Structure 1
């Protein structure tokens, strides 16, 4: 355990705590979310998990007010009205507008106050929508997820090329990586201040980061059981570094005085 970051609080923000109508999907999501929390605890974070659909936006902001870092994890499609889209598209999932509203507010506050934030899969899409971007509502090319298979086989393995000058490449230690993903939506127009940090073989954006704030999104699942063994650990270490840099900036005026 990294003692330097023990008792630093990381909040893992999920979509919902229950999906009684889709038990197999919920079980899969819980495996992934539990891995994020467990690996973060191993890395020295004090982890709190909260389901955004189960609280109001005001409560979510209150619960996360003292967070040293935030991870928004995967789940259902973002409700289209938050990015000017329409319903009725191919592959549409259930929507959780309360969760969307709360998670969007989290991203916007993180930008204002400098809280390190990582978005995974849906979390990347929330980041983009929160900052004024929009989404391609359906892709079906067989690269980004396996099609017409049981939920336990849905994750697709493919290559990603990171931007050489990105913070993400520095965290992962290389620009060519293998990832596991399972998404049918993707970034279209980037939100304000966001830049593409990685692309899939078909040219679609697979990661983004903010040009000045410690906000990063990956469209893949580093927490998937078959992902490269150190991928999630490196992303968590990147959050820790961003938190440390933020703490130095906050402490600098006091030291100067």
Structure 2
């Protein structure tokens, strides 16, 4: 990596949901917060919508990215984790977005590119590495039900594994988070380990045992999340890029 800012690809599902304007507005606000935090954190940010590109184009446009953030959105089509459609709470599926984001994570794993997944992004990571999903939660604390979209985010605590990179990044082993999800990781993908749990035992974050890949089920970019949470996660991603660059430079000099 040169003295230039590293490039962060922020990859969302779509930039167009004309049939769901309230939901779309909420998602766009959250995604814009990630973009702004990345810029403030020293990145050159490239924002891409996976459903608005074909998977090959998404891979091409992210080929030179130093790190990737995959943000929230709709359910992943169950065909990608060997399950059936027709489950409770099923949302619209964007198959091109699913395919493109899954391929992006798989390429990142092959290259050692740092990845942060947020909400759906965690689920994409898990599916990309061979895991599956719990298709619907009988909700308790993970989202507010029967409320306007602006009130859907639920506040709850998360316990972090003390030895995890995530705990080191956030500087604590117990944090407050904002979440709004009706699915969760089921069988873990290859190399992933759970590093955070909610009070009901639900897995709230995963890390790869050997690669700089982290996924959180909550929304650190939500307006009522602790103000430092997203910047700290992006700073950890930045350090992972720096570490990867140093390894590459040493290898090239040898």
- Per the normalisation by structure 1, the TM-score is 0.97
In the alignment, what sits opposite 1:113? 111
**Structure 1 residue runs without a partner (length 5+):** none
1:67-146 mapped onto 2 (5 Å cutoff) = 67-146=65-144
**Structure 2 residue runs without a partner (length 5+):** none
Cα distance in 2 for partners of 1:113, 1:214 equals: 10
1:194 pairs with 2:186: no
Cα deviation code 1:44-71 (max 9, x no counterpart): 1010100000111111000000001100
Cα distance in 1 for partners of 2:3, 2:124 equals: 27
Cα distance in 2 for partners of 1:254, 1:150 equals: 54
The 4+ residue runs of structure 1 with deviation greater than 3 A are none
Cα distance in 1 for partners of 2:5, 2:125 equals: 26
1:1-257 mapped onto 2 (5 Å cutoff) = 7-256=5-254
Cα distance in 2 for partners of 1:43, 1:67 equals: 16
Cα distance in 1 for partners of 2:157, 2:223 equals: 17
Describe the shift of the 1:56–1:147 C-alpha distance in structure 2 as closer, same or farther (beyond 3 A). Answer: same
Secondary structure of the residue that 1:220 maps to in structure 2?
A: coil
- Per the normalisation by structure 2, the TM-score is 0.98
Cα deviation code 1:65-108 (max 9, x no counterpart): 00011000000000001001111111110000110000000000
* Aligned Cα root-mean-square deviation (Å): 1.0
Deviation at residue 8 of structure 1 after TM alignment? 1.0
Contact residue 121 and residue 183 of structure 1 kept, 8 A: yes
Bigger mean CA deviation after superposition, 121-130 or 4-13: 4-13
Contact residue 6 and residue 44 of structure 1 kept, 8 A: no
Deviation at residue 37 of structure 1 after TM alignment? 0.1
Contact residue 5 and residue 240 of structure 1 kept, 8 A: no
